Chain A
């Protein structure tokens, strides 16, 4: 080995600027972000959408476009950070686009000031965008059009409200939205195969624990805990018909009577760190390496079983790993080893035992993938690094089944479909925010049936004028209670009378607080909601972490969120 390390490649200017986020989503996530083009269809006070874009422009999203036909007013100056006095009377789309662009010279911003109705009639008007955001209020026919576009072109669609102290957003993702890099908690991810060691691992343990009882103190205290556990499991098996400790009682006996008692205490510390680590690892590491149900379900989906030449590479790899699982009864070894008390050389040797097994498993999966590619006549081979990443995280992959959210149409009953039963059940949980979701649906229905100028133009929202608050309150509460009844009916749920009256009362209070706002956004609530939405957009674009499925409600009176699937 050369004496001097290679010359330093210091970070680039871009790496310096984005350092704090690259530590979360890495260079591949950043590249995905830079290739995105987000469309915001804005309306109302319009703050949520701008706050969302702020949090995407700062980390360097590729492009954004704001569609907004409003003109900057005094009211905007009181609630929005991305307009200034000199913008008064200008198109809000242009003004806000320019102010947002100032945040990051790497980002391109565009604007469309024509009304959304005519914008959408142009052919291919939505084609450039990789993700679409829609602010409430919006006419139902427009929202339906955007929802149909999301369905047909698989472009993720976000729809959101920020009304006074409350907010909501729903995400319409493609019907199959798989994620490989879910970033699970490090604590829960080590898969050490202690109950199913392969030959090299068993050999390593046997070698490191040879003559364990007679070892010098210094050696005894440095045997890696993985070797200790494998050694004592072997001993245990010999006196129990070859069965490892498997029940909870077995494991605690194994931990307290075998491992803890094998530690030497006749030293200055009164114990041994490696034995302490072994004791701590018993309950979480002595589990059969069985993948969870959600992962096994992925292997059984139609997309995974019926591959075609243009299946997404996720499905081809998933199919190959499914074959691996059928053959071996386990997933590929992920290959990482937690840090532990050990001598450097022993630890590195152990790391290599895991790494070479992981590499061997990857090779087997790569071979299956290549053979699938040949039989499917696929033109471009899947990159090996993608297969490797999949194998490493196979136990934690996730499939989100995206679906359309509710588009409230004037006079039509809301349908809950296969979600009715589960939603009606959650409704009765104390503190559930489903009544608030229902109040938002009622708020939408009000907007769908009231126009600002009686010409079918912009919708009018509940509670705008002081003199209308009481009548609007009655209307929105009435719609909300009807929606609630329809849900209970559709679910054929039997809810106790006094429980139901509590839920009705809550629904009425939420409706009343929404009407109080009269369509006003509070900057704090819009900023918080913009934070939530931008976070979800980053997850969706980078295909990392796990997005909301599919609706999130925020209650700014109680400061809490709830996620539900509608």
Chain B
């Protein structure tokens, strides 16, 4: 008996067993909420968890936490994508990086660190853009976990995953678990592409900030931010056109700061600081370790439940799929079901054109500009066509040149009242359909 025990203890198997002491309570025991049809306690779930291949998108504030959490939740085969390098301002929360790592690729440093700390986990980094990869690449994963700070990247991966769904092949549906934070606030959500509300359906939860009108910047600034935006958008173009603005170059920020300060003095506006200049120009969002920890863990908790069925997960069709978190005034969460939009340009199978009231006297250019601020569209480089003709295309240059004169024309000259237009953007694999109604 004693010999047997020492044999097991000495073996690799005994070692993993002892490491899994806590995790195994959940992998081997049923609970009051486990579903007997989907939860297979013991070897089956232990085996399938260790074989689950998961992709983490982003190795920043959320990504560092996510990699640590997944590694300590029993996932063994983790891939991570991030194109960024480490900056000194990351160190207050991205705990896998040290001062000596500044300038190196995040994905590489993070993967190496977690692999060293948590034995038996394989983490494969890719230092580049998600757009570099194709359907075949994404098809190899069972689960995608996103910790991104950019809406554009989320829209892209969402459209990719929805597009991959092939109804005859259940493995083509890749659950996507997504987290985001801003200061003391954040959200975690589960998307089952094509089955539940997708990121595009939920886009209006991230309404774009209204831009300050150009004429305010140019003629009647009132706030220190107006002076900074003026330096950023107008003064740089006028005086340093030949130099490409690099918001990470202290010399460039200093130049903008001094320009903004001088303008603020002229208009008697107080409050321009270096830190504010940096904040406005780089569109800095405050970020702290605690919120990242909360959201990343909420996201990984769902990923773990999806992979193991140790308890019900968010996102099962017809149940809650979205958790909103606020932590500045006490602690508050709101967990609800965000419903699929029947007219979603990405996940709806037969999207009908939404009616949109427009001024027939406004120009095509005005209309395209307004798309950037529409919460459900947020397109920066849209192309537009009707059933019959191309109205405006950004690419290729030949077509751009050919369609450019349309920009100055009135909408009523280009389309009939009630006619449908289709709008696309080279950054996203999706299409919006609007039925234009003149007011």
Binding site for B on A (CB under 8 A): 1, 4-6, 8-11, 13, 15-24, 45, 51, 54-55, 58-60, 73-75, 77-81, 84-85, 102-105, 164-165, 182-183, 222, 339-345, 347-348, 463, 466, 469, 508-509, 512-513, 516-518, 520-525, 527-528, 530-532, 534-536, 538, 545-549, 552, 556-561, 563
Contacts and interface: CB of A to CB of B under 8 A. Distances in A.
Contacts of A345: 267-268
Contacts of A509: 32-33
A344 B267 contact: yes
Given A74-B15, A348-B269, A532-B327, A558 B20 contact: no
B265 interface: yes
A559 B188 contact: yes
Contacts of B294: 528, 531-532, 535
A560 B254 contact: no
B72 A81 contact: yes
B184 A545 contact: yes
Contacts of A21: 92, 286-288
Interface stretch (B123-131, B194-202, B220-228, B350-358): B220-228
What 5 A-B pairs are tightest by C-beta distance, nearest first? A531-B293, A528-B297, A78-B19, A520-B22, A531-B294
A80 B177 CA distance: 23
Given A60-B92, A348-B269, A528-B293, A517 B188 contact: no
A348 B268 contact: yes
A340 B65 CA distance: 41
B32 A20 contact: no
Contacts of A79: 22-23, 72
12 contacts: A5-B265, A60-B92, A85-B119, A348-B222, A463-B25, A512-B31, A516-B26, A516-B31, A520-B21, A523-B72, A535-B331, A545-B329
B395 interface: no
A81 B265 contact: no
A348 B118 contact: no
A441 B38 CA distance: 32
Chain B, interface residues (CB within 8 Å), range: 35 or more
A78 B71 CA distance: 9
Contact of A522 (B26, B91, B291): B26
Contacts of A105: 99
Contacts of A103: 95
A58 B301 contact: no
A490 to B, nearest CB: 26
Contact of B267 (A45, A348, A522): A348
Interface in B231-282: 250, 254, 257-258, 261-262, 265, 267-269, 274-275, 278-279
A81 B118 contact: yes
B412 interface: no
Nearest to B314: A559
Contacts of B25: 164, 463, 516-518, 520
Nearest to B257: A8
A524 B88 contact: no
B288 A20 contact: yes
B95 A58 contact: yes
B296 interface: yes
B284 interface: yes
A534 B93 CA distance: 13
Given A78-B20, A339-B222, A559 B297 contact: no
Nearest to B30: A516
A527 B21 contact: no
B332 A524 contact: no
A10 B30 CA distance: 58
A130 B69 CA distance: 30
A54 B285 CA distance: 21
Name the residue among B25, B88, B254, B302 with the largest chain A CB count within 10 angstroms.
B25
B270 to A, nearest CB: 9
Given A19-B275, A58-B289, A524-B301, A557 B117 contact: no
Contacts of B334: 560
B29 interface: yes
A75 B297 contact: no
B183 interface: yes
B220 A344 contact: yes
Nearest to A21: B288
A21 B73 CA distance: 29
B290 A538 contact: yes
B117 A84 contact: yes
Contact of A78 (B72, B216, B222): B72
A344 B263 CA distance: 12
Interface in B324-364: 327-335
Contacts of B296: 527
B222 A17 contact: no
A11 B222 contact: no
A548 B331 contact: yes
B26 A520 contact: yes
Contacts of A343: 220
B316 interface: no
B69 A55 contact: no
Contacts of A54: 95, 289, 293
Contacts of B28: 466
A59 B288 contact: yes
A48 to B, nearest CB: 11
Contacts of A182: 329
Nearest to B254: A8
B257 to A, nearest CB: 6
A24 B69 contact: no
A342 B220 contact: yes
Nearest to A463: B25
A342 B269 CA distance: 14
Given A1-B265, A75-B18, A75-B22, A559 B320 contact: yes
B222 A524 contact: no
B429 interface: no
B312 interface: yes
B293 A55 contact: yes
A390 to B, nearest CB: 19
Interface in B286-322: 286-294, 296-298, 300-302, 304, 311-312, 314, 320
B328 A59 contact: no
B89 interface: yes
A163 B320 CA distance: 23
Nearest to A24: B286
Contact of B23 (A78, A165, A222, A563): A78
B6 to A, nearest CB: 15
Contacts of A532: 290, 294, 327, 331
A557 B311 contact: yes
Contacts of B154: none
B331 A561 contact: yes
Contact of A11 (B274, B291, B311): B274
Contacts of A81: 68, 72, 117-118
A538 B293 CA distance: 14
Contacts of A563: 330-332
B220 A524 contact: no
Contacts of B335: 558-560
A559 B293 contact: no
B323 interface: yes
Contacts of B257: 8
A18 B92 contact: yes
Contact of B21 (A78, A85, A339): A78
B220 A545 contact: no
A75 B21 contact: yes
B15 A527 contact: no
A558 B28 CA distance: 21
Interface string B100-128: 00000000000000001111000000000
Given A8-B258, A523-B73, A524-B69, A77 B19 contact: yes
B93 A523 contact: no
A9 B254 CA distance: 9
A344 B117 CA distance: 57
Given A522-B26, A522-B301, A559-B320, 18 more contacts: A11-B274, A24-B288, A51-B293, A58-B289, A80-B72, A466-B29, A516-B29, A522-B22, A522-B23, A527-B65, A527-B296, A527-B300, A528-B298, A535-B288, A536-B331, A548-B331, A549-B330, A561-B332
